Amino acid sequence: MTSATEALQLLREGNQRFASGKRKHEEIDHDRRIEINKEQKPVAIILGCSDARVPAELIFDQGLGDLFVIRVAGNIVAPSQIGSIEFAAERYGVRLVVVLGHTQCGAILATIEELQRPVENQSRNLRAIVDRVRPAVEGLIKTDLRHDMNKLVHHAVRANVSISVSHLRYGSEVLERLIRDEGLMVVGAEYSLETGVVEFFDGAG
């Protein structure tokens, strides 16, 4: 089993390769596909955004079967995401969970716009996403950050990640037990679309 610390180091090193254009996982390895046919052993769980520019396997330079990836707009935490994380952590012994936000997040922007100018006839499904992002944004809009959209989005992205991390750490009896007894680590991170670099925070050391 790969420890949380070891997995975090693998992700850091992989992202360094990706950001510098030196990826080692350029193609899908046929032998690797055969190897994992009957069993998967991912080293980390990634709860990331659905944004097409943020594919976790690529930005962490990991191969087929190395990551258990859950993607949803705004990297929000809802029951289905928690259940997926519990499943992977318990069944496959994964000991690292990364909540991965990114710069220029459309879900964050949509939430800011909704708070400033409520949208009529917004679908209840989209509103479900906005409502989960709202706690990360609502307080920030009341500060001086509202006068600088770039700074507002930057802080909102990180606040949203931190709220999701907290939700996973303290909103699931299964994950709380694995954190307490089995070395599970839940950390936050932000991917920069501009540089390709992932910055880890919220408990990543």
Per-residue pLDDT reduced to its tens digit, 118-152? 767 667 888 888 889 999 888 898 899 888 999 99
The pTM (predicted TM-score) of the whole model is: 0.91
Domain segments of the chain as ranges? 4-201
3-state helix, strand, coil in the chain (%, to 5): 50, 15, 35
**Cα atoms found within 13 Å of the Cα of residue 16, Cβ hemisphere only:** 6
Q: Return the DSSP state at 118.
A: P
- Candidates 3.40.50.2000, 1.10.1740.10, 3.40.1050.10, 3.10.20.740; CATH matching 4-201: 3.40.1050.10
Cα(76)–Cα(98) distance, integer angstroms: 12
Locate all alpha helices (DSSP H) within 24-172, ordered by sequence: 30-35, 56-59, 79-91, 106-116, 124-141, 149-170
How many Å from the N-terminal Cα to the C-terminal Cα in the chain? 21
Per-residue pLDDT reduced to its tens digit, 92-107? 999 999 999 999 999 9
